[in-house]
Chain A
Amino acid sequence: GQQLNQSPQSMFIQEGEDVSMNCTSSSIFNTWLWYKQDPGEGPVLLIALYKAGELTSNGRLTAQFGITRKDSFLNISASIPSDVGIYFCAGQNQGGKLIFGQGTELSVKP
């Protein structure tokens, strides 16, 4: 079945630093989505990507849909303490189902 490899698993950074995480797959996806999940809460959609090569920003967040449609990255610039949480990539296939990456746990030291 389709699987996503998300890296890194965890990151410990200083406030103000930039962050980068990525997902790769052996399969092609129609859509890539990036979610953030705070403890005890559901995932919140950050960015949705629909076309190969698409680069989309949402405030300090930038994500790209890889040209091969098998990968995506998420960058966070100038991190702040409220960026702490778990970030999940998710590939969406034609049927609409999401395949999640394993998550990247981000810790930001003030």
Chain B
Amino acid sequence: DAMVIQNPRYQVTQFGKPVTLSCSQTLNHNVMYWYQQKSSQAPKLLFHYYDKDFNNEADTPDNFQSRRPNTSFCFLDIRSPGLGDAAMYLCATARGNEKLFFGSGTQLSVL
């Protein structure tokens, strides 16, 4: 059974049209991460929540925001998607500083 669930698997949006990606987990992990992965590259950390504390990476554009309404859910909001934001977006969870478990990802296309 999937433990880190990302919806949708594929998302198509228009240039400049806000889009929200979702992640839920059944592991009761207190840490949730969002990564961006472009083709043939390693995942790149955007930000993470350690419990309710939000931690943004220094080079994450302001265009990317996140919300974590409760332990189980975390959302990635892209306010004005550009063509360069087309990528796979990966959610991961962890218990404290332990190993990360990834979801299957959402492949975002921007037209």
Interface centre among A31, A42, A103 (most CB of B within 10 A): A42
What 1/0 flags go to A68-110 for Cβ under 8 Å of B? 0000000000000000000010101011111011110000000
Chain A residues lying within 8 Å of B68, measured Cβ to Cβ, are none
Assess whether B42 is in contact with A41, with CB atoms less than 8 Å apart.
Answer: no
Instruction: Determine which of B42, B43, B99, B104 lies in contact with A92 in the assembled complex, contact meaning CB atoms within 8 Å.
Output: B99
A88, B45: Cβ atoms closer than 8 Å: no
Q: In this complex, which of B45, B92, B96, B100 has the most chain A Cβ atoms within 10 angstroms of its Cβ?
A: B100
Which of B88, B100, B107 sits near A33, CB closer than 8 Å?
B100
Interface residue tally for chain B (C-beta within 8 Å): 25
- Within 8 Å of chain B (Cβ to Cβ): is A40? yes
Interface string of A12-39 (1 = CB under 8 A from B): 0000000000000000001101010000
**Number of chain A interface residues as a range:** 20 to 34
Q: Of residues 72 to 111 in B, which have CB atoms within 8 Å of A's CB atoms? A: 88, 90, 92, 94, 96-105, 107
Whether B104 pairs with A42 at a CB distance below 8 angstroms is: yes
Assess whether A48 is in contact with B102, with CB atoms less than 8 Å apart: no
- CB pair A42–B48 under 8 Å, yes or no, is no
Residues of B within 8 A of A (CB): 4, 6, 31, 40-43, 45, 48, 50, 88, 90, 92, 94, 96-105, 107
Q: Which residues of A approach B to under 8 Å, CB–CB? A: 30-31, 33, 35, 40-45, 48, 88, 90, 92, 94-98, 100-103
Q: Name 19 A/B residue pairs within 8 A (Cβ), A-sorted.
A: A30-B97, A33-B100, A42-B105, A43-B43, A45-B99, A45-B101, A45-B102, A92-B99, A92-B100, A94-B97, A95-B97, A96-B31, A96-B96, A96-B97, A97-B45, A97-B48, A98-B45, A102-B41, A103-B41
